[in-house]
Structure 1
Amino acid sequence: MAKPSPADIRKDNLPAETDASNRVLDMAEGKVQDIVLDTIDAAQSQYTEAEYKKVLRKIDLVLLPLMWLCYGTQQADKTSISTQATFGLREDTGLVGQQFSWLSTIFYIAYLVGEAPGNYLMQRFSLNKTLFVCMFCWGVIVLSIAFTHNFAQLMVLRALQGLFECTISPAFLLITASFYVSREHTMRSIIWGTSNSGMDIITQLVMYGIGKGAQANPNSFSPWRYISIFLGCWTILMSIFSLLILGTPNEVRWLSEEEKRITAARIVSNKTGSSRQQFKKWRWDQVWITFKDPQTYFFFFTVIINSLPNGGTTAFGNLVYVSFGFTPLETLAKGTIPQNIVTIVWFLFVGIVSLKKPNSRFILMVVSTIPAFVGMLALGLLPKEGMLWTRWGLYLMAVTGRLPGLLIWTLLPSNVAGRTKKSVTGTLIFIAYCIGNAVGAQTFQAKWAPQYIPAIIICGVMYAVECVLFIAWRFYYTIENRRRARKIQELGLTAEQSAHQGQVYAESDMTDRENIHFKYSM
């Protein structure tokens, strides 16, 4: 069958059900039209599977190790106050009542404030340079925390840290979307997502050594201050590497022009648009489409529910272990590190399953919430004293609940098309993330210390609510995919024609909501 000509993307040839005809016509003129057709032509006929695999191996070898290190660094920086609290931070800075909780809450409030401008800057300018500036600045801030002496100083620095740190997660989602096809999103995101636990193990071992050394040689410079110096210097170093290596395919220097074309050709099948056209104009029509899309609200409310237990356990996780009867050093060796090891194993297991069984993400997310719900609820209902290792085991079960937070994010590059729509949806996801984490930190009330039983029960209930939302979300995608399949059948298009037209629309920056040929991944 003959391949459709450039005229196929003219206004009078667009399906009647889309209301974006004028826009696609405009986008398909001149240089953009040439790039769109060249990219689709390259995807359909010009490269072999061996050439694709060769470029993919290069991308994996260059990108994933540094993404792992950088993403793990931001997690270590963000959550370090939990460990620092066990090494004298609260006592040295005179924190009382809910002040320690506010160090997490203010971080996420500032994170929220920075989301919209951060995403705008990454779309309007260079993702690579924006990420470098933000990472360098928050490294300096983490280093400065070592020299604080009171609550006010800590609050200011934690707020600034959240303001600059907010760019890395949306940046990594955009990088994943621009280098990988949909079926690869889950495994690649899990690989760099395991760094939250992997780097935490490494930094916890370093912090264990710092704490051990400080106990053996006590002086006025407390161990928690050395922890900030170590983390700040490491972050600054990683920011320099991010400047040299990270970015979209068009920004990086380690791909040749031909390799960049191959990369764009690979991801045409996503129907979410490649970065080859370099759309930088902010599209207000896509903003309105985002807010009319039901999946936007699934993203928003599910992320809030998911982040509530995360916000509490991130800040108070080590203190919960101390409440079991562990010392600060035992908390690191017998609590945090085993938790992180189990997290990595579970993440990798889910990643392998997702490769072998496509469209299994929602099933895996539902399965992951069940042990977390059982573990947290049982922990909250146990007698308040004794049963140390039973408590340890139940709290360990909750680590499976970390997985859905990452898998939700992988749905963004897979199921949201249109450059501005991706940015707006990403911003809303991270606003929800901030709201959930900020509120979650406040659920651990000082009056409930040291066991925090009501807060732990609340976390367990949130896992159950999250499970119900996943089931409803998957049902929505199933209904929507069936509706689109019926519409394509009514138009009399073959599977090949539908796939080609869907790719043309996606490369012309059409959103998933408008593109009737787009199929949601589950």
Structure 2
Amino acid sequence: MDSKLDEKSSVSEKNVALSPHGELYRPEVNTDGIEEKKLMRRIDLHIIPWLAILYFLNFMDRGNIGNAKLYGMTADINVSDTQYLIALTVYFFPYALFEPASNVALRRLRPSIWLSSMMFLWGVIMICHGFIQNYGGLVTVRVLLGVTEAGMYPGIVFVISSWYKRAELATKVAYFFSSATISGAFSGLLSVAIHNMNDVGGLKSWRWIFILEGLLTVVVAGLSFWMIQDYPETAKFLSEEERVFVIRRLQDDVRLSAAGEKFKKKYIRQSLKDWKTWVAMGIYMGFDGPLYAFSLFLPTIISKANLLTVPPYAWGCITTIAVGIIGDRIGTRYYMSLRNIDAKSYPGAAGYIILIVSRNAALSYFAVFLAASAIYPSIRKYQSAWVGGNVEGAYKRGVTLGMAIGWGNINGAVTSNIYRSADSPWYTMGHGIVLAYIGIGLISVTLMRVGLQRENASRDRGERDEIIDGINNKRADVKNGHYPSIEAARLDKGDDWSGFRYIL
């Protein structure tokens, strides 16, 4: 093995976290007395639960329009089925458009400020939903909701990726994303309870759904200014030694940006030029389309009985957490992602095939469980952990996640139009389109796996080796860059660095 590879290995074997200048991060701080497992459990309690609450409300507020429709919203404001579908569609365009920019703003400000402000605004917009009188009002509040909710999910993933190693991301994302399934179940239960408030204060029950859920969001937004933890280097609940320990831990995982990174336009260019960004967009397209189709129309699909939506969501929550834990223990994102798509191709996609051909309500309800067990485990956890874990550099990771998730979300504009009243009660066309999206997800995940595997092999052969001053490496090529040290190459190139290995 050549001297360059020997030096790379020694960095890993000694478990030494280096700064951009080749020194141990904060060498004056002694972290020998810190228990890693105990510290990470404390970090889990400070980071994950509150982020799960934010996403719980985010998902509930965007989807409660389906429950409002069941309780007479469209009739009361004289909105046709076509107009209702258009109102669902317009939400996704600003939502997707602002996601990449939102992640850049989040990094330049602070998550506690950006995410809380965003949440407060969408809570106000949600309350405004309760006072709309016509189609124009409905379209307006849906567009504004898309603007104000944009960036919440990629922002949460970005924050989590700033605290944990790459191999830990799937489980952490699974825990917070499980709140989406809980929100679906809770929203159904809550809407049934709120329906009893019909005509209270002269307002219909569907108006109270928006008003009360919006008020809850505003209250949580106010608390979030203090509850959201920003980054390890600024966390007040950690001691100085613990902050240093966490940053060194991340840098050992080739997260050199963990110690802080100044914004440069080149990080955005790096994301745009990276093939992984574009394949990731296909992955999210293939999974987000079915997600929105499922969540927006589940009450309609299962014959307008809100209480019956609770068990499928509960099952989706269980499978989401279970598969997340298994995935991190196995350590292979692709096979778990592929297994989940296969879960769609077998129990999952078989569920959609059943929905297409079934003309029996009980059989169709069973198929909904199969669909939930496939959609929720594979939508976000592995794609977020896989994509976020394979992109180094805080700003580049933020832009890549924003673009991929944004593109995935804009496909909600398509799937929000596939379940038409004219196709009731079996919605054959809608189920068929969901199957097509599943196929796109499968192809994209496979392309990502093959591409990452080939790139790792190229790096193992030395084809990506940079010229490093003071190191005699015959395989180094100036086209890969010329740097004064390995640490300088790592900092400048991020995941393009020859020593970076992708998680498969």
- With the length of structure 2 as denominator, give the TM-score of the two structures: 0.86
SS of residue in 1 equivalent to 2:203:
coil
**Structure 1: gaps (5+ residues):** 10-27, 323-327, 494-500
Contact 2:338 2:442 (C-alpha < 8 Å) held by counterparts: no
Q: Contact 2:290–2:434 (CA<8 Å) still a contact in 1? A: yes
Q: Which residue of 2 aligns with 1:341?
A: 314
Matches within 5 A, 1:137-148: 137-148=121-132
Letter in 2 for 1:58: R
Equivalent-residue separation in structure 1 for 2:250 and 2:427 (angstroms): 47
Q: Secondary structure at the match of 2:98?
A: helix
Pairing 1:235-274 to 2, within 5 Å after superposition:
235-246=217-228, 247-274=230-257
Q: Per-residue deviation at 1:505?
A: 4.4
The equivalent residue for 1:307 is 288
Q: Structure 1 residue 484 and structure 2 residue 459: aligned?
A: yes
Secondary structure of 1:253's counterpart equals coil
Shift in CA distance, 489/83, structure 1 to aligned 2, threshold 3 Å:
closer
One-letter identity of the residue aligned with 1:196 = A
Give the drift of 1:362.
Answer: 3.2
1:380 aligns with 2:356: yes
CA 1:347 to 1:181, structure 2 compared with 1: closer, same or farther past 3 Å?
Answer: same
Q: Distance in 1 between matches of 2:202 and 2:302?
A: 27
Q: Which residue of 2 aligns with 1:449?
A: 424
Q: Does the Cα contact within 8 Å between 1:283 and 1:420 map onto a contact in 2?
A: no
CA distance in 2, matches of 1:504, 1:356: 33
Counterpart-to-counterpart distance in 2, 1:199 and 1:312: 16
Give the superposition deviation at 1:156: 0.9
Residue in 2 aligned with 1:39? 25
2:90–2:142 Cα contact (<8 Å) kept: yes
Q: How far off is 1:243 after superposition?
A: 1.1
What is the identity percentage for the equivalent residue pairs of Structure 1 and Structure 2?
19
Residue identity opposite 1:332 in structure 2: N
Deviations 1:191-237 (A, max 9, x none): 001000123323332222112x246x788411111111221111112
- 1:309–1:459 CA contact under 8 A, matched in 2: yes
> In the TM superposition, what are the counterparts of 1:142-157 in structure 2 within 5 Å?
142-157=126-141
Question: For residue 18 of structure 1, what is the aligned residue in structure 2?
Answer: none
Superposed displacement of residue 82, structure 1: 1.1
Match of 1:67 in 2: 51
- Asked if residue 207 in structure 1 is aligned to residue 191 in structure 2, the reply is yes
- Deviations 1:45-79 (Å, cap 9, x if unpaired)? 95459522232111111111111111111000011
The equivalences for 1:179-198 within 5 A come to 179-198=163-182
Counterpart pick for 1:293 among 263, 274, 280 = 274
Q: 1:22 matched to which residue of 2?
A: none
Once the two structures are TM-superposed, the CA of residue 267 in structure 1 deviates from its matched residue by: 1.1
> Residues 251-275 of structure 1: CA distance to partner in whole angstroms, max 9, x if unpaired?
4332233222111112113313343
1:428-469, Cα deviation, whole Å (9 max, x unpaired)? 112212221111112223432343211111112321332233
CA contact (8 A) 1:268 1:503 kept: no
Change (3 A) 1:469 1:58: same
Is the Cα–Cα contact under 8 Å of residues 272 and 418 in structure 1 kept in the other structure?
Answer: yes
In structure 2, do the counterparts of structure 1 residues 101 and 271 end up closer, same or farther at CA, with 3 Å as the change threshold?
Answer: same
Report the aligned-residue RMSD: 2.8
Q: 1:325 maps to what in 2? A: none
Partner Cα separation in structure 1 for residue 102 and residue 342 of structure 2: 34
Q: Deviations over 1:404-432 (max 9, x none)?
A: 22121122321001233212212211221
Q: What are the superposed Cα offsets for residues 108-139 of structure 1, whole Å, 9 maximum, x if unpaired? A: 11102322332231122222211111111101
Structure 1, residues 131-186: CA drift from partner, whole Å, max 9, x if none? Answer: 11111110111111111111111111111111111121121111111111111100
Determine helix, strand or coil for the equivalent of 1:511: helix
The answer as to whether partners of 2:96 and 2:409 remain within 8 angstroms in 1 is yes
Matched AA of 2:307: A
Deviation digits for residues 449-494 of structure 1, max 9, x if unmatched?
Answer: 343211111112321332233223212211111211121898489x
Give 1:467's match in structure 2, choosing from 413, 424, 442. Answer: 442
Give me the whole-angstrom Cα distance separating, in 2, the residues matched to 1:147 and 1:350. 41
Assess, with a 3 A threshold, how the Cα gap between structure 1 residues 107 and 273 changes in structure 2: closer, same or farther.
Answer: farther
Partners of 1:303 and 1:436 within 8 A in 2: no
Query: Which residue number corresponds to residue 480 of structure 2?
Result: none
- The correspondence of residues 7-46 of structure 1 with structure 2, limited to 5 A, is 33=20, 37-39=23-25
The whole-number CA distance in structure 1 between the counterparts of 2:27 and 2:285 is 42
Return 262-271 or 251-260, whichever deviates more. Answer: 251-260
SS at the partner of 1:442? coil
Letter in 1 for 2:426: Q
Of 247, 253, 262, the residue aligned with 1:280 is 262
The whole-number CA distance in structure 2 between the counterparts of 1:174 and 1:86 is 36
8 A contact 1:146–1:228 mirrored in 2: yes
Change (3 A) 1:221 1:233: same
C-alpha contact (below 8 Å) 2:297/2:419 kept by paired residues: yes
Instruction: Report if the CA contact (8 A) 1:369-1:466 is conserved.
Output: no
Q: Is residue 392 of structure 2 the alignment partner of residue 417 of structure 1?
A: yes
* Equivalent residues, number: 469
What SS class does the counterpart of residue 502 from structure 2 fall into? coil
Is 1:332 paired with 2:306?
Answer: yes
2: CA distance, partners of 1:300 / 1:49: 43
**Contact in 2 for aligned 1:377/1:461 (Cα 8 Å):** no
Instruction: Check if 1:389 corresponds to 2:383.
Output: no
The verdict on how the C-alpha distance between 1:509 and 1:134 changes in structure 2, with shifts beyond 3 A counting, is farther
The secondary structure found in structure 2 opposite 1:38 is: coil
Which position in structure 1 is the counterpart of 2:401?
A: 426
Q: For 1:396 and 1:37, how far apart are their aligned partners in 2?
A: 53
The answer (yes or no) to whether the contact 1:290–1:421 under 8 Å persists in 2 is: yes
Which runs of structure 2 are paired with 1:161-172 in the superposition (5 Å)? Answer: 161-172=145-156
8 A Cα contact 1:264 1:274, kept in partner: no
Letter in 2 for 1:339: P
Question: Is the Cα contact below 8 Å between 1:368 and 1:403 reproduced in 2?
Answer: no
Whole-angstrom CA distance in 2 between matches of 1:91 and 1:49: 65
1:77-96 Cα shifts (integer Å, max 9, x gaps): 01111111111111111110
> What is the deviation of 1:299?
0.4
Separation in structure 1 between the aligned mates of residue 406 and residue 464 of structure 2, nearest angstrom: 39
Q: How many angstroms apart in 2 are the aligned matches of 1:158 and 1:101?
A: 11
In structure 2, the residue matched to 1:80 is 64
Distance 1:333 1:233, change over 3 A: same
One-letter amino acid of the structure 1 residue matched with residue 83 of structure 2: Q
